[in-house]
Amino acid sequence: MSEGLFISLEGIDGSGKTTLIQYLQDKLATYPLLRIREPGGTAISEKIRELLLNIDNYLITARTEAILYAAARSQVVEQLIKPALDEGKLVLADRYVDSTMAYQGYGRGLDLQFLFTLNQLCTSGLLPDATILLDITPQVGEKRRKHEEADRLEQEGREFQARVREGYLQLALKEPKRFYVVNANREFRHVAEDAWGQIMSLLIKRGWLPGEN
């Protein structure tokens, strides 16, 4: 059992994860913290990210896509996450294994057992202590993203995002102890308050009292 605390943030495209993670990082400034984003985080994983998100790579099959996400994750787990947890750090991950289950499993229709086993192997079974799911409707997500250029996954459209969202909710139902679902259709300050409250209670349970680090 590691000494650190591993928290992942999940949600469909446009759910506001990145804004939230920045907010949380600022609030947690006094804690020893590692922030990572997936796919990415290490030089090798960033190269895999470029392969995955480049719109020119439309020939990538669903299975190849899943394996590449798992490869990027495997690298980040060994190179960054495990050492950080062993040092007792708080790890905040912008996406992790649940993204693969939701996007490649529920979104693309790949076999969930295959994805689960693949990820077990690639992460040595490391799961977050807690996962915050920002739940929004695909319509709201689309509106929030409208000013950015869409990457390969974001180009999939509303029906795909709807399947991914449904997948996330199923995952949360299967593991209610690990997941905390936040209604992210609301104004950011409400979403942030809600997520912060949850993180505070996790920190307090660990005996990591705010302001004491």
Residues near ligand TYD (CB under 6 A) are 13, 17-18, 37-39, 53, 69, 94-95, 99-100, 103-104, 151, 153-154
Tell me the closest approach of the beta carbon of residue 206 to ligand TYD, in angstroms. 26
Tell me the closest approach of the beta carbon of residue 29 to ligand TYD, in angstroms. 22
Q: Which is nearer to ligand TYD, 161 or 203 (CB)?
A: 161
As a whole number of angstroms, the distance between CA 192 and CA 141 comes to: 17
Q: Nearest to residue 82, comparing CAs of 180, 26, 1, 8? A: 1
Q: Which is nearer to ligand TYD, 166 or 208 (CB)?
A: 166
Q: Which is nearer to ligand TYD, 4 or 141 (CB)?
A: 141
Q: Which is nearer to ligand TYD, 94 or 194 (CB)?
A: 94
Burial code (b: 16+ CB inside 10 Å, e: under 16) for 85-94 equals beeebbbbbb
Tell me the closest approach of the beta carbon of residue 57 to ligand TYD, in angstroms. 12
C-alpha dihedral over 131, 155, 137, 28, to 10 degrees?
A: 30
Tell me the closest approach of the beta carbon of residue 205 to ligand TYD, in angstroms. 27
Q: Which is nearer to ligand TYD, 13 or 135 (CB)?
A: 13
As a whole number of angstroms, the distance between CA 107 and CA 162 comes to: 8
Q: Which is nearer to ligand TYD, 68 or 203 (CB)?
A: 68
Tell me the closest approach of the beta carbon of residue 187 to ligand TYD, in angstroms. 19
Establish how many alpha carbons lie within 13 A of residue 85's alpha carbon, considering only the half-sphere containing its beta carbon: 19
Tell me the closest approach of the beta carbon of residue 191 to ligand TYD, in angstroms. 15
DSSP-assigned beta bridge partners for residue 180: 132
Is the peptide bond between 39 and the residue preceding it cis, with omega within 30 degrees of 0? yes
Q: Phi first, then psi: what are they for 91, rounded to 5°?
A: -110, 125
